[in-house]
Chains A and B, each alone.
Chain A
Amino acid sequence: MIEIHNIHKTFNGVKVLDGIDGVFESGKMNMLLGASGTGKSVLLKCIVGLVKPDLGSITYDGRIFANNKLDIKQEIRRKIGMLFQGSALFDSMTVSENVEFPLRMLTDMSREERLARVEFCLQRVGLEKAGNKMPSELSGGMKKRVGIARAIAPHCTYLFCDEPNSGLDPLTAITIDELIKEITLEYDITTIVVTHDMNSVLEYGDNVMFLYKGKKLWEGHSSTIMDTRVKELNDFIFSNRLMRDAKKVEQIEEEERQEEENEKNNL
């Protein structure tokens, strides 16, 4: 479980995060939702330690992270897996070497153990035959899957995904989302996903946090997000035509149901 409290961050006088609190539980898909430039990625970078918050605390299973000693931070970091927006695979290494890299650097595993783990992780993401390929030979979806394999290889406890399905076609996006969800449940990982994809949120979001101009405006389960009365969140959800049409259809169906009920009552 990861807890954040009162996180503030300012860049060149511009407040990017303004007192964010939150609890991200293990075994759940925790999602940070918001439009571009609302501070989602900065918050994620604060949580993983790539950006130092100006104020506030971050704890991993009760252990202070943000302002702790370097040794303890390193220890926690070794339990972190991260899937980057552009996958961030090492260009000069093959797929297998990319997945093996954290094992080689962070563990005392023998070469045979490492190779067995690499094979398992690649199988888990459905890329057992791509081990010898270079990242430049992979499609966007395959790169994301290799990124996931690399993240889970050292038995991570915390998984962070920065817009995992951006730039992917809808079907591949769903595959990636499903994979992250499966892995989260299977290994009881604390997963935080930054996204602005409403399909992902509605389908897989166990705990959704909506950020707007650096502030948390709403938090809850994805099943209740459509009933929100927060204007900014409503504007965000129904910003595309498909969602607006879906809402209209829902309203019409609701009105028809109420009319039918009224007629029944009158009879």
Chain B
Amino acid sequence: MKTFGAFLLFLSNLVKRGESPRILFNRTIDEAIIIGIDSIFIVAVVSTFIGAVTCVQISYNLTNALIPRSTIGFMVREMTILELAPTITSIVLAGKVGSSIAGGLGTMRITEQVDALEVMGINSTSYLVTPKILAALLVFPMLVIVSMFLSILGGYLAGSLSGALSGQEYITGLRTDFIPYNITFALIKSVVFAFLISSISSYQGYFTQGGALEVGRASTKAVTNSVIAVLIADFLCAQILL
């Protein structure tokens, strides 16, 4: 409870004595470029292969002759949009972005760069952390959309190349009973996950004390706590929003 209280206080500091909108905007764009550009490759690779593997495994399990092969496309779409794209992408980003945020802030803390900002009269929390959170809120949904597209494309390629189903069957399945709200649901989840990952990782990094070993520990803790928070939030979102 004490840690949770400290985390809430940390979050309240983000909005106190904020920097000017111009500085905040520039810093947010810089962070968004770092998070987005640096993560797109890993998100693309993971998403494409997850789509492909999902398609192949559904095809392997779907042996009933009464169920049309196009169902594979339908199931890949539903699994990708509802769960795989937002959650798996966020878990990958928790490792990639979360550890980077915690490591960066932790290093700044132990090398007194955070103190240097404070001495200058700059709110270090607002200057360093707010842009990271805003950038994550901006970029995560974009990455999730990219992930959805590539995952479905991965399924198409895997299905076509392995002969599990034809491209036409796959597309027919994709277009069956499409519910637009599912996209909204996935994007809401991605925004929630973005906030959790960026704020938890920032908190772990910002309060690092000690040396290089502690920075490593903070990064590990940031990833572990973020992943747990994402999984809990995933359940709650499904329970509340579906």
A88 touching B121, Cβ below 8 Å = no
Of the stretches B111-119, B163-171, B197-205, the one at the interface is B111-119
B213 within 8 A of partner (CB): no
B23 within 8 A of partner (CB): yes
Distance in angstroms from B23 CB to nearest chain A CB is 7
B120 within 8 A of partner (CB): yes
Distance in angstroms from B38 CB to nearest chain A CB is 14
In the complex, the chain A residue whose C-beta lies closest to that of B119 is A82
B175 within 8 A of partner (CB): no
Instruction: Pick the contact of A102: B111, B113, B115, B120 (CB < 8 A).
Output: B120
B113 touching A90, Cβ below 8 Å = yes
In the complex, the chain B residue whose C-beta lies closest to that of A82 is B119
A74 within 8 A of partner (CB): yes
A88 touching B116, Cβ below 8 Å = yes
Q: A77-B120, A106-B120 are in contact. Are A86 and B23 (CB under 8 A)?
A: no
B121 touching A77, Cβ below 8 Å = yes
Q: How far is it, in angstroms, between the C-alpha of A91 and the C-alpha of B103 when the chains are bound?
A: 13
A78 touching B121, Cβ below 8 Å = yes
In the complex, the chain B residue whose C-beta lies closest to that of A105 is B122
B119 touching A86, Cβ below 8 Å = no
B23 touching A105, Cβ below 8 Å = yes
Contact flags (1/0) for A43-59 with B, using CB distance below 8 Å?
00100111000000000
A50 touching B115, Cβ below 8 Å = yes
A88 touching B113, Cβ below 8 Å = yes
A88 touching B115, Cβ below 8 Å = yes
Distance in angstroms from A126 CB to nearest chain B CB is 22
Interface positions, chain B 96-122, Cβ under 8 Å from A, are: 107-108, 111-113, 115-116, 118-122
Which residues of chain A are within 8 angstroms of B121 by Cβ–Cβ distance? 73-75, 77-78, 80, 106
Q: How far is it, in angstroms, between the C-alpha of A105 and the C-alpha of B118 when the chains are bound?
A: 12
- Quick one: which of B17, B118, B121, B122 has the most chain A CB within 10 A? B121
Distance in angstroms from B126 CB to nearest chain A CB is 12
Q: How far is it, in angstroms, between the C-alpha of A16 and the C-alpha of B242 when the chains are bound?
A: 56
Distance in angstroms from A128 CB to nearest chain B CB is 23
B17 touching A70, Cβ below 8 Å = yes
Q: How large is the interface on A (under 10, 10 to 19, 20 to 34, 35 or more residues)?
A: 20 to 34
Interface of A is mostly: mixed
Q: How far is it, in angstroms, between the C-alpha of A49 and the C-alpha of B118 when the chains are bound?
A: 9
A85 within 8 A of partner (CB): yes
In the complex, the chain A residue whose C-beta lies closest to that of B111 is A86
B120 touching A50, Cβ below 8 Å = no
B112 touching A88, Cβ below 8 Å = yes
In the complex, the chain A residue whose C-beta lies closest to that of B114 is A88
Which residues of chain B are within 8 angstroms of A105 by Cβ–Cβ distance? 19, 23, 120, 122
Which residues of chain A are within 8 angstroms of B115 by Cβ–Cβ distance? 45, 50, 84, 88
Q: How far is it, in angstroms, between the C-alpha of A251 and the C-alpha of B185 when the chains are bound?
A: 85
Which residues of chain A are within 8 angstroms of B122 by Cβ–Cβ distance? 105-106
Instruction: Pick the contact of B119: A48, A85, A90 (CB < 8 A).
Output: A48
Interface positions, chain B 160-201, Cβ under 8 Å from A, are: none
In the complex, the chain A residue whose C-beta lies closest to that of B127 is A105
Distance in angstroms from A160 CB to nearest chain B CB is 8
Q: How far is it, in angstroms, between the C-alpha of A124 and the C-alpha of B121 when the chains are bound?
A: 24
Which residues of chain B are within 8 angstroms of A106 by Cβ–Cβ distance? 120-122
Q: A70-B17, A105-B23 are in contact. Are A84 and B112 (CB under 8 A)?
A: yes
Contact flags (1/0) for B57-83 with A, using CB distance below 8 Å?
000000000000000000000000000
In the complex, the chain B residue whose C-beta lies closest to that of A162 is B112
Instruction: Pick the contact of B111: A49, A75, A77, A88 (CB < 8 A).
Output: A88
Which residues of chain A are within 8 angstroms of B112 by Cβ–Cβ distance? 84-86, 88
Distance in angstroms from A167 CB to nearest chain B CB is 14
Q: How far is it, in angstroms, between the C-alpha of A50 and the C-alpha of B122 when the chains are bound?
A: 12
Q: How far is it, in angstroms, between the C-alpha of A89 and the C-alpha of B115 when the chains are bound?
A: 11
11 sampled A-B residue pairs with Cβ under 8 A: A49-B118, A49-B119, A50-B115, A77-B121, A84-B116, A90-B113, A90-B116, A91-B108, A105-B19, A105-B122, A106-B120
- Kindly list 14 other residue pairs between chains A and B, CB separation below 8 angstroms, not including A90-B113, A102-B120: A50-B115, A73-B121, A74-B17, A77-B119, A77-B120, A77-B121, A78-B120, A84-B116, A88-B111, A88-B113, A90-B116, A91-B107, A91-B108, A105-B120
